[in-house]
Chains A and B, each alone.
Chain A
Amino acid sequence: MIQLERVSKRYPNGREALTNVSFFVDRGELVFLTGRSGAGKSTLLKLIALLERPTRGTVTVNGRSTGALKARHIPAFRRHIGVVFQDHKLLADRPVFDNVALPLVVAGAPLKEIDKRVRAALDQVGLLGKERLLPMELSVGEQQRVGIARAIVGKPPLIVADEPTGNLDPDLALEVMRLFKRFSEVGVTVLVATHDLHIVREFGSREITLTSGQLTGGAPDPLPSLVASR
């Protein structure tokens, strides 16, 4: 589902965020991406969601190499990835319903289906009944879950989440992670960047660790033949 081959990313300011990173995530896997702040976790997620392009190496998502993707194909590519952001990136002047519906509106789904699926997504994150509230009227944890609902509403085959539990209390954090686990059990690939090692241990899923932009552990290849080298 996700394959990185010798990927390096150097920002225009000269900082090298990732150095020679290779790993593979299979369909339906739940993988945790761990490491200190600034280790390159966010950069890695941005490369996968095509918010950035690698300086060197190739990133392949869902069988498509992001390097070869033309600008006009990027929107369609992004519709197949649900992204959860650390700072939610919700529209402050739109109610919860509109925020969650945005990926479906953008994809041109019929109104009836939008209504049904938005409610289903909100139900999954425990926010049913709060459709008409503005993000400001919700707690930080609830806002985070609106962001998650938006990421899953389009039923993407891949979900990437950047510190989705950063603002949640331990119980809620666990709840959200269980949600991700459930998605992975129905075939959705989930990549979660987190520094909450406690939660990672609890789930016993595969863990990929970054240190100063380099892979330092926990990347046992489930399919070694597919990855040329590390």
Chain B
Amino acid sequence: MALGTLTTRHTQALFGALGRLARAPLATAMTLLVIGLALVLPAALGLLVRNAESATGGFGHAVDMSVYLKSGVSLARARELAVEARAEPGVDAVSVISAAAGLRQFRQYSGFGAALDALKSNPLPNVLRIVPQPRASGPAALEALRRTFASWPEVDMVQLDAQWVLRFNAILAVVRRLVSIAAVLFGAGVLAVIGNTVRLEILNRRDEIEVTKLVGGSNAFVRRPFLYTGTLYGLGGALLAWLVLETAVLGLQAPVAHLARLYGSGFALTGLAGRELAVLFGGGMALGWLGAWISARRHLRDIEPRA
């Protein structure tokens, strides 16, 4: 078949589908609403995860590690170890807190000054304070780093000062999994809604389909407008979901910015962008097409011309 003919046919099918959707605005709007809302939930969760990740990305430098050296390790050796530590992958900065400096800090902040004076010697070890690079601030990377330092013979213990970041990341992992589950469930919902809508339309247009087959319309020809209908539903639903999310983000931006400021963070809530939009629209259209295809395949077979 000539390319021009194919283009003509697709254009006809597209405009035919658009026309039919426009002629029943109320039914179309209801269907779009259902599809749109079904797409909103997984997209909103995804947006939540992404924003939470970027919010905590700013905490990367809040994560640090205290490596307590054994009490016999001298300050000079501690300085050598600091140089070695700096060479470890994923390490951003290393500072040495000498036993004396540690004691001074402790005396200053703890209020146990008098009690410390009673001690004959400094009970504190030399400590290396390690700041990981932001990209090595994930739970797995931090754990790997901790294990590396713990295995050094001079190291007594390693304390991670950011347990809460790890817990937060774990929560995010749970939500991320929820996004996947919601996407599958609601995707199946969209599939069913579009499939059923297309089924009803096929039944409504039974006579037309029969006559079209009668004059030699192939299955592909008969199916095409329905596939466009499904794809358009998916596109419209994605558009609606996007609008809903943008509105929600707009409404939340000010209070979230206020909250972030209270935590001393410049974090700002952002809506879907780039790849995420592509996933929403691509996913919506793919689900629409697939739902229509399944339905059309199943129901068009049953309509054969009977003169």
Contact = CB atoms under 8 A, between A and B. Distances in A.
Interface string B4-30: 111011001000000000000000000
A89 B214 contact: yes
A102 B210 CA distance: 12
A108 B220 CA distance: 12
Interface string B198-232: 00000000011011111111110100000000000
Output the residue of A45, A51, A75, A79 with the most chain B CB within 10 A: A75
Contact of A91 (B6, B211, B221, B306): B211
Nearest to B4: A110
Contacts of B307: 42, 45-46, 49, 51, 83, 85, 89, 162
* Interface residue SS majority, chain B: helix
Contact of A103 (B6, B9, B215, B305): B215
Interface in A135-153: 150
Contacts, number: 66
Contacts of B12: 105
A158 to B, nearest CB: 13
Nearest to A105: B12
Nearest to B304: A51
Contacts of A72: 218-219
Contact of B217 (A106, A110, A111): A106
Output the residue of B6, B8, B9 with the most chain A CB within 10 A: B8
Contacts of A108: 1-2, 5-6, 8-9
A155 interface: no
B306 A78 contact: no
Given A51-B306, A51-B307, A108-B1, A83 B9 contact: no
Given A79-B216, A106-B216, A111 B8 contact: yes
A128 interface: no
A64 to B, nearest CB: 14
Contacts of A51: 214, 305-307
A45 B307 CA distance: 9
A102 B215 CA distance: 7
A172 interface: no
Contacts of B208: 91
Output the residue of B9, B215, B216, B306 with the most chain A CB within 10 A: B215
Contacts of A105: 12
Contacts of B1: 108
Contacts of A150: 215
Given A49-B307, A85-B307, A106-B221, A78 B216 contact: yes
Q: Which 10 pairs across A and B sit closest by C-beta, in order of nearness?
A: A79-B216, A78-B216, A75-B218, A108-B5, A103-B215, A106-B217, A75-B216, A51-B307, A89-B211, A102-B215
18 contacts: A46-B307, A51-B306, A72-B219, A75-B218, A75-B221, A76-B216, A83-B214, A83-B215, A89-B214, A91-B208, A91-B211, A92-B207, A102-B215, A103-B215, A106-B218, A108-B1, A110-B8, A154-B215
Interface of A: 42, 45-46, 49, 51, 72, 75-79, 83, 85, 89-92, 102-103, 105-108, 110-111, 150, 154, 162
